[in-house]
Amino acid sequence: AFDVFDLDLFLPLMCGAHVALLSSQNSRNPAAVAAFANSVAATHIQATPRFWQELIAAGFNHPCISFTGGESSPADLAAKLLPLGPAFNLYGPTETTIWSTVCQMSMSGQATCIGRQLRGESVFILDPALNPVPVGVTGELYIAGTGLARGYWGRPALTAERFMACPFGKLGGRMYRTGDLARWREDGQLEFLGR
């Protein structure tokens, strides 16, 4: 029932790939997951930064494309993932239907980079008056676009507080107030600065 499972299951199948499923008894055991992923020669794996570190420590070493998200990445994670192949840091709260931004990781140690918006998403860094902030200035991260949820079931007050009218784009559009702090970098990428 976890939202990101839809992406994990259906995207590979829609692209003609296979999905390898591990038993629920072993899915939380890094050593069992590492051994399974090595045995099936997994080509794409998505996990939280913490679980990636545990997988690598448990012996996962098969070349693959790695995706990480769901929590902040530690500075040394890229150095552990990139020897396996391309690595991507993903960002997006559940309220924006899984992922909203992506950053291809590099050895430069930019663990706080959450990249650029995905197609169909709009990302804004705004001040308290909902004005866009300049490059390099910290503001609150707002997300609009096709992945935006309708709100919180049975919680109209919380929905009104977090899902608000979007002053940018087409009339009637909405955006989600993430509560996360971020800033635009000179290279056009987003930098995550915390909650």
- Reading the chain (195 residues) residue by residue, the pLDDT tens digits are 566 777 778 888 898 888 888 888 888 888 999 899 888 888 888 899 999 999 999 988 889 999 998 888 888 899 999 999 999 999 998 898 788 999 999 887 666 889 999 999 999 999 999 999 999 999 999 999 988 999 999 999 999 999 999 999 888 899 999 999 999 999 999 999 988
Amino acid 66: pLDDT: 92
Are residues 32 and 60 in contact, defined by beta-carbon separation less than 8 angstroms? no
Measuring CA to CA, how many Å separate 190 from each of 53, 137, 145, 180, 182? Answer: 24, 11, 17, 12, 7
Amino acid 89: pLDDT: 92
Largest CA distance in the chain: 53
Amino acid 87: pLDDT: 93
Cα angle: 38, vertex 39, 45; to 5 degrees: 45
Q: Which ranges constitute the DSSP H helices of the chain?
A: 4-14, 30-39, 49-57, 77-81, 156-162
DSSP state of 166: -
Matching residue, tokens 């995550």: 192
To the nearest 10 degrees (0 to 180), the angle between helices 30-39 and 49-57 is 70
Total-model pTM: 0.87
Amino acid 111: pLDDT: 67
- Give the count of alpha carbons within 13 A of 181, CB side only: 8
